[in-house]
Amino acid sequence: MTDPLPSDLGRQLGLRDDELEMIRGTLGRDPNRNELAMYAAMWSEHCSYKSSKVHLRTLPTEGASVLVGPGQDAGAVDFGDGVAAVFKIESHSHPSAIEPYQGAATGVGGIVRDIVSMGARPVALLDPLMFGPLGDERNRWLLEGVVAGIGGYGNCIGVPTVGGEVRFAEAHSANPTVNVMCVGIAQSDRLMTATTHTPQLGSLMVLYGSTTGRDGIGGVSVLASATLEDGSEESRPSVQIGDPFAEKLLIEASLELIEEDLLEGLQDLGGAGLTCAVSESAARAGLGARLDLDQVPLREEGMEAFEILTSESQERMLAIVHPSKLERVREVCEKWGLATAVVATLEAGGDLDVSMAGEQVAKVPALSLTEKAPEYDRPMRPIPTDHDDPTFVSFDGDLREAVLSLLASPNVASKRWVFEQYDRMVQGQTVAGPGSDAAVVRVPGTMKGLVLSVDGNGRYGTLDPYLGGAHAVAEATRNVAVTGAKPLAITNCLNFGNPERPEVMWQFSEAVRGMRDACLALDTPVTGGNVSFYNESGGSAIWPTPVIGVLGSLTDYRLRLPSGFPSPALAVYLLGESFAELGGSEFAETVLGRVAGVPPALDLDAERRLQDLLHEAAAADLLASAHDCSDGGVAVALAECAILGGHGFAVTLAGDLPPHVLLFGESASRVVVSVAPEREGSLRGLAATRGVPFERLGETGGPRAVIDGMLDTTVIELAEVWEGAIPRLLGEKP
Amino acid sequence: MSARIGVVTFPGSLDDRDALGAVELMGGEGVPLWHADPDLKEVEGVVLPGGFSYGDYLRCGAIARFAPVMEEIRGFATRGGPVLGICNGFQILCESGLLPGALIRNRSLRFICRIVHLRVETTQTPITADVLPGEVLEMPIKHGEGQFVASEPDLDRLEDSGRIVFRYCGPDGDVSDAHNPNGALRGIAGIRNEAGNVVGLMPHPEHAVDPDVGPTGGQALFASLLSSVMAGAGR
């Protein structure tokens, strides 16, 4: 502790000068090297949410079904019958940009441990991804690596990957967006929450799982809280390495410890490693802790205190155990071949007191690392809206060709190439997997289905971040509603550029405002989430992309509505109203080559009425199928219904709008449904009562896909284009 | 009385609960077995389930064959007890020498999760005894290393002695390269030992028993296994 510190060490670690002053004020002295490393990690944007907290606080977080809101490892909602559904989404974009396989793999590992630390068994994973265009070799390498990493890890731990989305935009070339959502289920009375489990003075902190090495040091501060610039490959040592086998053992051992009621608390080791787990656990209990680094099992020799304190080595958990239960905890871990070490004791006083080789190496108030981290209301500057709207551009191109180019657009095309690399059926509960509007996973022992979707639209976000945020909530919940389910709550992953730039901060606050309005209108509280800032290079940021993960409930999974037309001779209806809206559309980008204009308006009351109608109509068994109308408008929605169900259609799109606007406009709050003829009357009656506009478009059946005067082709041709697009872009045989 | 079928859990097994569930759904009694157990709890049949035993970092199934429970299973198999290896279980049986050949990386070099069709090539096994020869069954595959390989003479021997149990095929039973998901030699999806009581296959019959979550091609195989065991017990 006597070595003089380099004067700019704080800055090198990512701390600002005024933050250093705050630390000096708290300690009443200069921090030493170890303490600096601890503060730098815990006060990093990634861990502290210091730029986002002030905005996130405005989101609605309470609701009848919410058991655990933001602030814990994951949110939880009451699923009835004594079952709690636990879910959260997180980003691992920064490490994935540098080392796609390990970056994505460890992203899966981290979010799974978050779910386990709430006492839940992970039952589903969903992966929203964004990359640059596939014409570029590096983007192909990133896509292939990220998908292989998600599969390589997820497939090996026995948690099915049941959904996700993949989008492409030039703005995500240098900085791909890699988000992972995990869902778990627990007995409500076994949830590990701050209220149900109270760590006691004198209880022990037991570190179990993998050993601690030098990997991932500075992951949260160097990597996740700064922009990537040239030479970012040098940050590769800050990327963690995943060991899914160890994770699988960790899951089983942890669930057994919880089942036997052996724990007072459980926390995973993720960002900021041991420092975060010990300080958060102690601070939450209103206590301090004495941490002995000599007890930490190390992977390599000669590790210094600050390295052990901030290592982000994967597959480690910290349990809080009453001394009387220690022996049994050790036995359970041993059964699963996991090493245990008592590394700390909970003490009075609130300090985190760290020693190594008999010497005190750090002593800081635990709360100063966690709740008392700095908080900023950063300056904002609005970006003017682009009013050069493509809606009013005339189009005299071939409509059939336009439909086919939209189906071949990688944003729209089948993602089979991606999801066939994921085990979607392990655990045996996947009723609907990837490729559906929303995934449906059974809750074992009940008729209930967890209904899960993720959605984000960066193109809307960049044109109007308020609408981007609101649409993400509306579309993600609509994807759940089209299965007939009721959306219960959401989690969000907010992917943005550098928050120190006022324009980015404005985009962020607008997106949050949009999400807030939509969540209030749709009665879907936010139970937690993650913010990923600094997704930019050379001053150019990713599209502001709020990704929303939704958890919904089906009381009887057998009543799930499919997306595709299930049989011939059904009536096809469009629910919702169509307007002249091509701003920010897939058509404008893919066919006209323009990302411009204003995204579609969003009438949140109309959205609510539509979603309630879907829920009610499905419960009354009035519908044969339902599919959300989004990218590519009605034309793409109809084509997908035909491809997925294997039945063609003959419909007419009427209205005063030009044909290309009718076909490709992306007006919100619309759904294509199919209905048995004998139920049409009931559906029309219900829609009228609920105030949802509807239009009968035609019928299903036959091998052809016909939109009167606009499109006449076969379902087989549509399917070949849609299925073959991504393999072709990757240079493979479809 | 129902047939007692043991399902082994190795550290890293993933489809063990699914296999137990499939046994129970088809009317058997599923008995969990632990890799470190030195006894088989008087089961009448054994399933080695899918997963990544011990992480499979060395070679799929290479470590699992040394598990204490495998010694018991070897003896059980020698005495004619039915043993079914699914996916990683198949890999373990090959590594243990209970079945010939090996499973290597898929020719696409990628993990594949997909519903496939299998043609039943022989009914001389406990899991196909009640199935018609040539019957086409639908069930999923999910593996990164499922390409069955063996030397040409070994393949000929397998073929000549009727030990190929399943081949990948189209919905109508046509075996061709287009329907071969992983490049397996001669389209082989599953084989048996000489006595016929040990069977390994890459596809997952345990994920094809419940129509609410997938196809049902596995029902016939589990039903066969259970009735073979009952018939054996009655002898």
CATH number of B139's domain: 3.40.50.880
Note whether A90 and A156 are same-domain residues.
yes
Q: How far apart (Å, rounded) are the C-alpha atoms in residues A389 and A665?
A: 12
Whole-angstrom CA distances from A214 to A233, A241, A310, A669 are: 17, 10, 9, 50
Note whether A571 and A535 are same-domain residues.
no
Which of A112, A210, A245 to probe by mutation at the B interface, max B CB count within 10 Å?
A: A245
Q: How far apart (Å, rounded) are the C-alpha atoms in residues A40 and A5?
A: 15
Output DSSP code: residue A124.
Answer: E
Domains identified in chain B, total number: 1
Q: How far apart (Å, rounded) are the C-alpha atoms in residues A199 and A267?
A: 12
Task: Write the single-letter amino acid at A440.
Answer: V
CATH number, domain with residue A464: 3.30.1330.10
Note whether A446 and A498 are same-domain residues.
yes
Domains identified in chain A, total number: 3
Arithmetic mean of pLDDT, A125-144: 97
A248 to B114: CB separation less than 8 angstroms, yes or no: no
Confidence of residue A232 (pLDDT cuts 50, 70, 90): low
Domain of B97, in residue numbers: 4-234
Is residue A412, in this structure, part of any structural domain at all?
A: yes
Confidence of residue B235 (pLDDT cuts 50, 70, 90): very low
Is residue A53, in this structure, part of any structural domain at all?
A: no
Note whether A556 and A566 are same-domain residues.
no
Is residue A534, in this structure, part of any structural domain at all?
A: yes
On the question of pLDDT at A202 being above 50, the answer is yes
Note whether A631 and A681 are same-domain residues.
yes
Q: What is the ipTM of this complex?
A: 0.95
Residue A92 is predicted with a pLDDT of: 94
Contact list, B116 vs chain A (CB under 8 Å): none
Q: How far apart (Å, rounded) are the C-alpha atoms in residues A182 and A379?
A: 34
Question: How is the beta sheet containing B4-9 ordered, strand by strand?
Answer: B29-34, B4-9, B45-48, B83-86, B198-201, B188-192, B164-169, B112-120, B136-143
Is residue A376, in this structure, part of any structural domain at all?
A: no
**Residue that is last in its domain, among A338, A368, A398:** A368
Is residue A409, in this structure, part of any structural domain at all?
A: yes
**Residue that is last in its domain, among A560, A580, A611:** A560
To the nearest whole percent, how much of chain B has pLDDT over 90?
88
pLDDT digits (tens, 9 = 90+) for B87-140: 999 999 999 999 999 999 999 999 999 999 999 999 999 999 999 999 999 999
Note whether A518 and A649 are same-domain residues.
no
Arithmetic mean of pLDDT, B220-234: 89
- Cβ-nearest to B18 among A156, A428, A442: A428
Please check whether residue A283 is in contact with residue A370, taking contact to mean a CB–CB distance below 8 angstroms.
Answer: yes
Task: Please state, as a whole number, how many other Cβ atoms lie within 10 Å of the Cβ of residue A405.
Answer: 19
CATH number, domain with residue A665: 3.90.650.10
Taking the Cβ of residue A148 and every Cβ of chain B, the question of whether any pair is shorter than 8 Å is answered with yes
Q: How far apart (Å, rounded) are the C-alpha atoms in residues B65 and A322?
A: 39
pLDDT digits (tens, 9 = 90+) for A580-602: 999 999 999 999 999 999 999 99
Note whether A523 and A554 are same-domain residues.
yes
On the question of pLDDT at A1 being above 50, the answer is no
Q: How far apart (Å, rounded) are the C-alpha atoms in residues A207 and A268?
A: 10
Confidence of residue A219 (pLDDT cuts 50, 70, 90): low
Taking the Cβ of residue A420 and every Cβ of chain B, the question of whether any pair is shorter than 8 Å is answered with yes
Instruction: State the pTM of this model.
Output: 0.96
Note whether A651 and A704 are same-domain residues.
yes
Note whether A364 and A346 are same-domain residues.
yes
Arithmetic mean of pLDDT, A420-437: 96
B113 to A431: CB separation less than 8 angstroms, yes or no: no
* DSSP secondary structure, A480-503, as one string: HHTTT-EEEEEEEEEE-S-TTSHH
Note whether A452 and A423 are same-domain residues.
no
A92 belongs to the catalytic site: yes
B87 belongs to the catalytic site: yes
- Cβ-nearest to A156 among B52, B110, B140: B52
Please check whether residue A219 is in contact with residue A95, taking contact to mean a CB–CB distance below 8 angstroms.
Answer: yes
Which of B57, B113, B177 to probe by mutation at the A interface, max A CB count within 10 Å?
A: B113
Domain of A259, in residue numbers: 18-48+197-368
Is residue A3, in this structure, part of any structural domain at all?
A: no
Confidence of residue A217 (pLDDT cuts 50, 70, 90): confident
**Residue that is last in its domain, among A529, A560, A591:** A560
A428 to B17: CB separation less than 8 angstroms, yes or no: yes
Taking the Cβ of residue A431 and every Cβ of chain B, the question of whether any pair is shorter than 8 Å is answered with yes
Tally C-beta pairs within 8 A across A and B: 82
Of the candidates B17, B74, B5, B40, the residue with the CA atom closest to the CA atom of residue B230: B5
Note whether A578 and A555 are same-domain residues.
no
B14 to A158: CB separation less than 8 angstroms, yes or no: yes
A387 belongs to the catalytic site: no
Contact list, A431 vs chain B (CB under 8 Å): 212-213
B111 to A423: CB separation less than 8 angstroms, yes or no: yes
Q: What is the largest CA-CA distance in chain A?
A: 85
Note whether A591 and A726 are same-domain residues.
yes
Taking the Cβ of residue A245 and every Cβ of chain B, the question of whether any pair is shorter than 8 Å is answered with yes
